[in-house]
Structure 1
Amino acid sequence: MLKEACVENFTVVPAVIDRGADRIELCDNLAVGGTTVSPGVATVTINYCHRKNVKVMSMIRPRGGDFIYRREELEMMKQDLIYLKQLGTDGVVFGCLNDRNWIDEAAMHSLLELAEGLAITFHMAFDQIPYEKQFQAIDWLVEHGVNRILTHGGPANTKIEDNVARIQEYVDYAAGRIIILPGGGITNQNLESITKNLTVSEVHGTRVVG
């Protein structure tokens, strides 16, 4: 089971790698769900992780709040993505929605083009997509080369233990075409009990390795 540790800044990176993190999702401002780190933090973290043979997925998000981005915000995301790619990040994490809570296809196209050659995760913006459109969203993301979907399986205020059946529905529908990455409440304490009913190969969390 690959364990992706979601970290804020560099502070805990050495410790979570020592405790068994296989991959790092690099963010700032986790109190608002994660935003893009500074260039300095990115440089130090990516270099450190690569010396430890650990891959880094870098968050591309200019602010907290919703996932509907203005033109200027999208330009910030593009510039951050270009810079992080130059620094050697292994992948990027982003998600854009429109005012109907469907994928902002134009925004996604522009970011996906710049992210060519990197691993791509569509983050928990997925959980804002209406229930009845989520399978359609999986199809769209598969067709456009996204590698994985980070999902809580339901609203953020729900327990992930209560969402296991829905997450497994995503896994079954994806049928190996895209990785379903469960997260949001998975810890080293409940990891085994949650994953025993999920056919997943990766998990995500701020406390996934304690």
Structure 2
Amino acid sequence: MESVVLKEFCAENLTNIPAAIKAGAKRIELCDNLAVGGTTPSYGVIKKAVEISHNAGVTVMTMIRPRGGGFEYSHAEAEIMENDIEICMQLGSDGVVFGCLKNGWIDEELTSQLISKSEDMEITFHMAFDELSEEAQFKAIDWLAEKRVSRILTHGGSSDQSIEANFPHLKKLIEYAGDRIIILPGAGVNYQNLEGLLDALQVKEAHGTKIVKL
């Protein structure tokens, strides 16, 4: 079963991308600064990562996040994010990854703006999703699915818990999402526990910095 899963490798800049592709990664989430959960990489990094990945038939999702810390953004930060999405489009990134919150819910205004700016690119709503209450997460699935978001990256619960401990909630999210939007499990998923995750959750995609053995 493991062979049919799409493995999304979370990359910090360019360094490990060629090795990850060789090891079986079929999609790259391209970031900088993974120590703070990932921020937007540079123009040069995006350009080269897209070139290397596309030559190997691998897609690239670029992180749109101007800083570490929380997920509530100022007007100036919103402008930065919009400009970075434009750059991603120019450089051929297949998609973008972002998550914006406000007062315990999705920042609907900013998220809608960024979705509009993204045009035909794929969109992943990232682990800002995990900051929402469980009740709000189901409403967020409805809202994001209606807005043509491709997938939601989630650990399924507290980052203090293993991904396995969060399987019960992940199953509920996956069942609720149905075929409207992809629930992408991440954080703590690796090439060693991947098969168990696939058996438990029956997902077709998984995400991690160690999703393939480098």
Distance 2:198 2:208 in 1: 13
1:69-88 → structure 2 map (5 Å cutoff): 69-88=73-92
Distance 1:161 1:40 in 2: 37
Distance 1:63 1:7 in 2: 17
| 1:117 to partner: Cα distance | 0.2
Is the counterpart of residue 34 in structure 1 residue 38 in structure 2? yes
1:3 to 2, 7, 14: 7
Q: Which residue number corresponds to residue 95 of structure 1?
A: 99
Is the counterpart of residue 117 in structure 1 residue 111 in structure 2? no
Secondary structure, aligned partner of 1:196: helix
Distance 1:71 1:206 in 2: 31
Distance 2:112 2:13 in 1: 28
How does the TM-score come out when normalised to structure 1? 0.98
- Tell me, yes or no, if the aligned pair for 1:25 and 1:59 is still in contact at 8 Å: yes
Distance 1:172 1:135 in 2: 11
Structure 2: which 5+ runs fail to align? none
Is the counterpart of residue 163 in structure 1 residue 163 in structure 2? no
1:1-210 → structure 2 map (5 Å cutoff): 1-98=5-102, 100-210=103-213
| 1:193 to partner: Cα distance | 1.2
* Amino acid across the alignment from 2:92: G
Between Structure 1 and Structure 2, how many residues are aligned? 209
Moved over 2 A (4+): none
Distance 1:157 1:72 in 2: 32
How does the TM-score come out when normalised to structure 2? 0.96
Distance 2:194 2:129 in 1: 22
For residues 132-178 of structure 1, what are the alpha-carbon distances to aligned partners after superposition, in whole Å with 9 as ceiling and x for unaligned?
Answer: 11100000000111010000000112110100111111110011110
| 1:199 to partner: Cα distance | 2.1
Q: Tell me the C-alpha RMSD between the 2 structures.
A: 0.6
Structure 1: which 5+ runs fail to align? none
| 1:101 to partner: Cα distance | 1.7
Distance 2:133 2:75 in 1: 24
* Amino acid across the alignment from 1:150: L
